[in-house]
Amino acid sequence: MFAVLMITLLLTILLVGSNMDTILKQGVMFQVRAEIVENPSIAESFTDPEEFEAFIQQKIDERVKSLGLDTPWYSPQRVGLTMYKILILDFGNATFLTSDSGSSNIADILLEKIPRTILLFTTATIIISIIGIFLGAASSNKIGSKTDRFTSTFAIVSSSFPVWWIGMLMIFLFAFVYQIFPARATPSIGPEEPGYIFSLLYHMALPLITISLIGFGSWAYLVRNFMVGVLQEDFITAKKIMGIDKKKIVYKHALKNAAPPIVTILALSLSGSLGGAIITEAVFDWPGMGRLYFDAIGVMDLPVIIGSTYILTVLFLISIFVADLLYGYFDPRVRTKN
Amino acid sequence: MSTDLAVDIKREFLKSKIGISGVLILLTLIVISIFALISIPSAEFQDWNNPEKWISYPKTSVPAWVNIFMFEKIPEHKIIQSENITNEEDGIFISSQQFRFNYAFDDFPNDFMYNFELNYTGSPLLEMTVIRPDGIKLELLNMSLPHSSESTSFKQTIFSTDSLLRKNLDFQSNIYEYEARNLGSTELIFSEKTDRRVLTGDYVFIMNAYNLETKNMFLDSNLIIGGKAFGVMGTDELRRDLAVGLLYGTPLALFIGISVSIGSVVAGLIYGVYSGYKGKKTDEVMMRFNDVIYALPALPFLIILAVTISNSIFLMIGFLMIFSWVGIAKVSRSISLQIKTRQYVEAAKIMGQKDSKIIFKHIIPQMLPYVFASIAISVPAAITTEAGLSFLGLGDPSFPTWGQILHDANTYGAAAQGFWWWIMPPGLLIAITGLAFVFIGNTLDTIINPKLKR
């Protein structure tokens, strides 16, 4: 687990490292020249332009050295240092982006964005799984019924539409044609004001509806397939013969037995949706991690990219871990005795 | 795979309506792709982002077929070509062009422009007139072209907003029975004599070039009547014909989807089968590596790769493969663990056959149905992921995909301005393409896993 985290981090740094150095060096050059322009007395003290240039170059070199940019970015100390810093959650400062409160500290920015992403996608996943599990169980109860056929068709059709495209359509329909919901999901008032929570929820409605609409079909289909498998097992037949109510069998006994894979996939889909958040949030302009990531890519704000990739990986790994734990909890057969 | 099994699967497949409709959709898409590849030379792919090519097209116009459902007909954008007629009268050479069209819409055209290129020597005179459906002939323009002592090609565009043209119309405005002074030239030309309504019928625009000394020739010219409806699919903010873009997108989407899925399924299959077959330490190491790739968040990494390395479409296909073979490898490993213990595999092993031969001859053929199903099932994911990346603006600009059309739609606020014809078709095409493969894959899947069928 930890090794995966390290590899992810290393890969990210390897991928963005060289660009980061070029940008930083240009920044230093710009800074030094700006300082000299601000101080006319320095320029006046030189008579020979070549000497002046040499002086500037020397200044730049000094600054580059003090920042540790003179060693190439792939040198072990520098990669090691960056990784160590990120491990202790010291992400440094963003180059361009700031948090809503104006801080450019990446930890601040991330702390502000993560809860919003989790709020949107966890709520969506909960809605999806509740609808999905009940619809799936209901259709496995009566295979070939109208519910079943509806579920299967809806699952197949909805899963082939990209969420973000449905998002665009929903914005088009419910924000412009029928002006029910706001087009941008960013709340219009600041977090200090009293109505903020309501504003946030109101702005959250459209993305939430879209994600749930696209998600629950395939969920129901998945649950149905697991349930069909379980319902064919011997103990269910035995219970049927014992004369237990069929509804009770489906919702109590079969659902319980189908739980382990369902819960695992639930945890995994939660983490998967966090990755997909990048596009969804970009469409709805929801001010979470995904939007941050998208904005950071747009302006090449590399510290932010590294920081948010790290956080996304951590969240992803945590949910895989939780999925493993839950599987063990629900399915005693896989528990190992130590 | 034994032939019996293949025949069985084929028969079962043909029984399924969903499977057949999947195949039919796929065939349609393939036909469209072939048509696109034949009708559009590959060099023109690049022209998608070249504004010069689209200059004569209208901006964000609705598809022309919308008029069928409209009570008030929206003026269609027309690009009219004409033949070049040359003759001689009393020592004067005349080249003339006639643009004839039927105007039957309920609104005035936005504007019109005349693009021409004339090959001449000397100083010819260009005369532009229009004959309206009610028989009235309006003199639009008389202009002399710059003198040239040797043969030259003169290129110019005459716009409906031309001030000379406006002045000429003012002189003839006595034909109108109402105050025509504050109307635009286009409205004047296309309006009724009695009141300010559109005069429908056949219009003829005539261009004559008179020259005293030598023959002159219109080379490349057209008349554009600017409207608000155009083509099968309409146009976008950058005047591009969306039908062309959507047509380009079809072979690209199929190419991306199929190559990514085949590549990743084959890679995952071989990886998984080898790992399962070898077992022990090799298996352990290979599966741990698999876990590492599995735990990488795919989309953020795809974005970083696209930004830092390259957004070329071929590399993108490679990047997509990196993240999509993992699941296949896991499943094929577990299947190969089962097949490995069968007696004929063990027999082959005892006979001393090479590992590679056992894997390719005895294990993989058993898994072919599963392989085909997973290829079909993993195509939609590849297409939507690529579309998603393109939608974020990370696509290959030299190959216009459906995702990029949607990206442009989003940047120009198509949803806010109600340009439904810009948003709907690309997404629907993505979904339909995905559906075709899902149909095929699911049908294969139910045939292979009879447990799901019931």
Phi, psi (5° rounding) for residue A85?
-60, -45
Q: From the candidates A19, A172, A294, which should be mutated to test the interface with B, based on the most B CB atoms within 10 A? A: A172
Q: What's this model's pTM, rounded to 2 decimal places?
A: 0.81
**Whole-Å CA distances, B179 to A246, B194, B195:** 84, 10, 9
For chain B, give the longest Cα–Cα distance. 106
Among residues B274, B285, B402, the alpha carbon closest in space to that of B328 is found at B274
B194/B185 Cα distance (integer angstroms): 17
Residues of chain A positioned with their CB less than 8 A from the CB of B300: 275, 278, 293, 308-309, 312
Structure tokens at B298: 């795919």
Residue of B nearest to A179 (CA): B416
Question: Is some CB atom of chain B closer than 8 A to the CB atom of A263?
Answer: no
- Are A279 and B299 in contact (CB < 8 Å)? yes
**Each residue's pLDDT expressed in tens, for chain B with a length of 454 residues:** 456 667 777 787 788 888 888 899 999 999 998 888 888 776 666 777 777 777 778 888 888 888 888 777 788 888 888 777 777 777 788 888 888 888 888 888 888 888 888 888 888 888 888 888 888 888 888 888 888 888 888 888 888 888 888 888 888 877 787 777 777 888 888 888 887 788 888 888 888 888 877 777 777 788 888 888 887 888 888 888 888 888 888 988 999 999 999 999 999 999 998 888 888 888 888 888 888 787 777 888 888 788 777 778 888 899 899 888 888 888 888 888 888 888 888 888 888 888 888 888 888 888 887 888 888 888 888 898 889 888 888 888 878 889 989 988 888 888 878 888 888 899 999 999 998 998 888 888 878 776 544 4
Task: Judge: A317–B295 Cβ closer than 8 Å, yes or no.
Answer: yes
Spatial separation of the C-alpha atoms in residues B189 and B191, rounded to whole Å: 6
Given the cut 0.85, state whether the ipTM is greater than it.
Answer: no
Instruction: Give A319→chain B minimum CA distance, Å.
Output: 10
Instruction: Determine whether the interchain pair B300/A275 forms a contact, defined as Cβ–Cβ distance below 8 Å.
Output: yes
The shortest CB-CB distance from B427 to any of A165, A274, A309 is to: A165
Chain A residues 108-147 within an 8 A CB cutoff of chain B: 143
Q: B188: which 2 tokens?
A: 């004047």
CA neighbours closer than 13 Å in the CB half-sphere of residue A167: 28
Chain B residues within an 8 Å CB radius of A161: 427, 430-431, 434
Under an 8 A CB cutoff, do A278 and B300 touch?
Answer: yes
Residue A294 has, within 13 A of its CA and on its CB side, a CA count of 25
Which chain A positions have a beta carbon within 8 Å of B394's beta carbon? Answer: 297
The verdict on A19 touching B (C-beta cutoff 8 Å) is yes
Q: What angle do CA B184, B189, B191 make, to 5 degrees?
A: 90
Q: Looking at per-residue confidence, does A21 or A181 come out higher?
A: A181
Task: Give me the residues paired with residue B118 across strands.
Answer: B154, B218
Q: Which residue of B has its CA nearest to A232?
A: B451
The structure tokens listed for A186 are 């960013």
pLDDT of residue B29: 92
